[in-house]
């Protein structure tokens, strides 16, 4: 089950004019954005690349497409990743191997496996 995280900023204003009136406004912003999901995936790849025998099934929700190729992740939106991987625009150079190009969007399940050579094997798991 996917965990949805959010936080709320609660503002309470009390207006006093001919009596007391209270107004409460709740602003919510989901923490599960495209950028944080990509960073979560890259963190798992980093751990798997440095831990031989590492194996994990990862459930992600991506609001925009993400393409996995051998050695490259292509983002649909350019943003600075600030990670251990080389980035050139929307292209990230990562030590991954996939059987064929995978386009991820929406709710996806991935199997990530680390090898003794530092290369990470990524497979998409079919549900149902």
Contact 124, 109 (CB under 8 A): yes
pLDDT at 64 over 90: yes
The DSSP output letter for 2 is P
Q: Is pTM, for the whole model, over 0.75?
A: no
**Residue range of the domain that includes 82:** 34-124
Any domain includes 60: yes
Q: What is the mean pLDDT of residues 75-89?
A: 87
pLDDT, residue 127, reads 78
pLDDT at 5 over 70: no
Any domain includes 7: no
Any domain includes 55: yes
β-bridge mates for residue 122, sequence order: 112
The CB density around residue 45, as the number of other CB atoms within 10 Å, is 25
In the chain, the number of structural domains is 1
Any domain includes 98: yes
Q: What is the mean pLDDT of residues 88-92?
A: 93
pLDDT more than 90, % of the chain: 63
Any domain includes 41: yes
Distance from first CA to last CA of the chain, Å, rounded? 15
pLDDT at 33 over 90: no
Residue 1: both structure tokens together: 């089950």
Any domain includes 24: no
The CB density around residue 90, as the number of other CB atoms within 10 Å, is 13
Any domain includes 107: yes
- Put residue 89 in one of left, alpha, beta given phi > 0 → left and psi -120 to 50 → alpha: left
Contact 106, 61 (CB under 8 A): yes
3-class SS of residue 69: strand
Any domain includes 103: yes
């Amino acid at each position: 089950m996917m965990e949805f995280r959010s936080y709320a900023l609660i503002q309470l204003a009390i207006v006093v004019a001919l009596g007391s009136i209270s107004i409460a406004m709740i602003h919510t912003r989901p923490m599960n954005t495209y950028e944080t999901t990509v960073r979560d995936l890259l963190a798992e790849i980093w751990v798997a690349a440095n831990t031989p025998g590492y194996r994990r099934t990862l459930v992600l929700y991506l609001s925009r497409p993400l393409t996995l190729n051998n050695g490259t992740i292509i983002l649909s939106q350019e943003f600075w990743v600030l990670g251990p991987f080389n980035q050139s625009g929307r292209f990230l150079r990562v030590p991954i191997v996939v059987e064929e190009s995978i386009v991820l969007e929406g709710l996806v399940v991935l199997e990530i496996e680390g090898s003794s050579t530092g290369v990470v094997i990524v497979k998409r798991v079919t549900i149902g």
